[in-house]
Structure 1
Amino acid sequence: MTAWAEVIGDPITQSKSPAIHGFWIEQLGLDARYEARLVHADGLADYLDARRGDADWCGCNVTMPHKQAVLDFLDEVDPVAARIGAVNTIVRRTNGTLVGTNTDMSGFLEPVMGELASRHLFRMARVLGTGGAARAIVAGLAEHGFTIVLAGRDPEKARGILDTLAPTGEHYAVQLDHFAGPTDFAFDDRSQCLDLVVNASPLGMRGQPALAFDWSHAPPGSIAYDIVTDPVATPFLDGARARGLATIDGLAMLVGQAAGAFELFFGMKPPRDRDAELRDMLAR
């Protein structure tokens, strides 16, 4: 019998997860498959109930807008996902128990681990967005000593996320449009500091308006990180490159979080030595 997994969301046609997992399955020669499935919010409970009884179903990835909603329908949630308050991966145990976890945090941090291995006098991240992915990002950055400015359409929601996931330290919640207009703020010497500017929202995604961010708000030497994957080259990253800043695109986090899920689903590590080939395929 063929083991299989899938990704669920609404919408789902834009998902690159089937291409990623399918590439790894082919490279490893596994008798397995990975699919995409449209699941509406009012169908989550029925969907998961149906999957419990399928012994070949290994689990699913969860994308927008279900990362928090699925918590109500799981048998267990591991400590990482429980702390973040969002699930991006569900694993089915052999007895039909459904366990929620979160690989978004490790996937987000993976491309900046080299920077995090260095010592800094100060670390600051400007994070734009307050959805399920943003929760994982805030949790990961807080663990690594960042002062966080979290911007959202609802600053009270942003404040609640910070109070829950980054309860120590001095963090700030602001309106999303706080960064839309130019600033003449004179940044100090940032040579021994690490600054990240993260688009953790769907703004800039194909079919969505661009994120309004004026790059005068980014200190010199900042790293711009956009989790949007379609398109890979977003207006946000184009603006950062025009300022001469280093950039990280959404494929980095997408592949990183998928790697953690793949191992949970199929019991083996994906062939990460083929990442360059995979990225070329995904960027077409």
Structure 2
Amino acid sequence: MSHLAAVLGHPISHSKSPALHRAAYALLGEDISYSAIDVTEDALPAFMSALRSEPDWRGLSVTMPLKSAMLHEVDEVRGIAQILRVVNTVVFEADGPVVRRIGYNTDVAGIVNAVRHAGSPPAPSAVILGGGGTAAAAVAALKDLGAASADVFIRDVNRGAEVKAASAGVGLEIRVLPFSEAGSAVAAADVVISTLPPRGADALADELSAGGLSADGVLLDAAYDPWPSRIAAAWQNAGGRVVPGLEMLIYQAAEQVRLFTGRGADVNEKVIDVMCDSVGAPRRVL
């Protein structure tokens, strides 16, 4: 029997998730058809309600702007998603004749694996750019990476509720600071995680380049189109190590593949390799 999975978001035509998931399922021999579906936040309740009459669904990947709204459309939230209140993965789980929808967050694992494989030190000094749902996942990831604290730079310091809730939930001390003050902190950090939209860090990149930045840390830029971003290019030119957002996407998608298929150790480096090949990314070992 063929099963269904999809990535939901708006807009969604740019998503690389279909290529990643299809490559993984082909290698694993899983009969799962994976598509991209454009769903707005307003349309999400009706869309999720309609799925209750369709028994073949295995899972949903959830991207912007639906990650917070999806909290209200699942029957249970598990793992770090309970703390972050941000869901980027929905698994359809049979409970007798009833199918329950379980919310997870795999962004944290995606960030941890991507940054760790780039050579993050054991207890990094850390900076996060942006204050939304992905920034909340970055707070949890930095806790897992051994950071003692993090500075979070956002354009409106009164809108840091998500990162503050994540900080309280995982026990990582943060300071929420104006984005205009990010330059010197970014240059000195061991790990910088930018959760800004494409081109959102361009002005900061220009500031760093003009200031003669010398970087020795790791920059993860969650935006991956266009690539390289201006801040990634500035960071690399200054001697730092750059992790593209595409790599984070691959690692979090691998976690989704495990959840959608019920598999474990066989979602391994061979699966990561074919996922990398599907989007033209350099190969990494999970």
Question: Shorter chain as normaliser: what TM range?
Answer: 0.7 to 0.9
1:97 is paired with a residue whose SS is strand
Please list, as runs of the form range in 1=range in 2, the aligned pairs for 1:32-47 lying within 5 A after superposition.
32-47=32-47
Q: 1:169 to 1:12 in 2, by over 3 A?
A: closer
Please list, as runs of the form range in 1=range in 2, the aligned pairs for 1:187-266 lying within 5 A after superposition.
195-204=190-199, 210=202, 212-213=204-205, 214-215=207-208, 220-266=215-261
Deviation at 1:169, TM superposition (A): 5.6
Inter-partner Cα distance in structure 2 for 1:98 and 1:42: 19
CA contact (8 A) 1:68 1:86 kept: yes
CA contact (8 A) 1:85 1:135 kept: no
Deviation at 1:29, TM superposition (A): 2.5
Q: 1:232 to 1:273 in 2, by over 3 A?
A: farther
1:171 is paired with a residue whose SS is strand
Deviation at 1:276, TM superposition (A): 4.3
1:88 aligned residue: 88
Cα offsets for 1:39-59 (capped at 9, x unmatched):
011111111111122211112
Query: Amino acid of the residue matched to residue 38 of structure 1?
Result: D
Please list, as runs of the form range in 1=range in 2, the aligned pairs for 1:1-284 lying within 5 A after superposition.
1-94=1-94, 95-113=98-116, 115=119, 119-120=122-123, 123-143=124-144, 144-158=146-160, 160-167=161-168, 168=171, 170-179=173-182, 195-204=190-199, 210=202, 212-213=204-205, 214-215=207-208, 220-268=215-263, 269-283=266-280
Cα offsets for 1:194-220 (capped at 9, x unmatched):
71111112133xxx7846343359774
1:8 is paired with a residue whose SS is strand
Query: Amino acid of the residue matched to residue 142 of structure 1?
Result: K
1:191 aligned residue: none
Aligned residues with identical type, % of pairs = 29
1:190 aligned residue: none
Cα offsets for 1:57-112 (capped at 9, x unmatched):
11201000110011112211113101011000011122221111100001110023
Aligned length: 269
CA contact (8 A) 2:135 2:163 kept: no
1:273 is paired with a residue whose SS is helix
Inter-partner Cα distance in structure 2 for 1:200 and 1:260: 20
Q: 1:119 to 1:53 in 2, by over 3 A?
A: same
Q: 1:184 to 1:67 in 2, by over 3 A?
A: closer
Cα offsets for 1:129-148 (capped at 9, x unmatched):
11211111112213423421
Query: Amino acid of the residue matched to residue 179 of structure 1?
Result: A
TM-score, normalising length from structure 2?
A: 0.84
CA contact (8 A) 1:76 1:99 kept: yes
Q: 1:28 to 1:164 in 2, by over 3 A?
A: same
Unaligned runs of 5+ in 1: 188-193
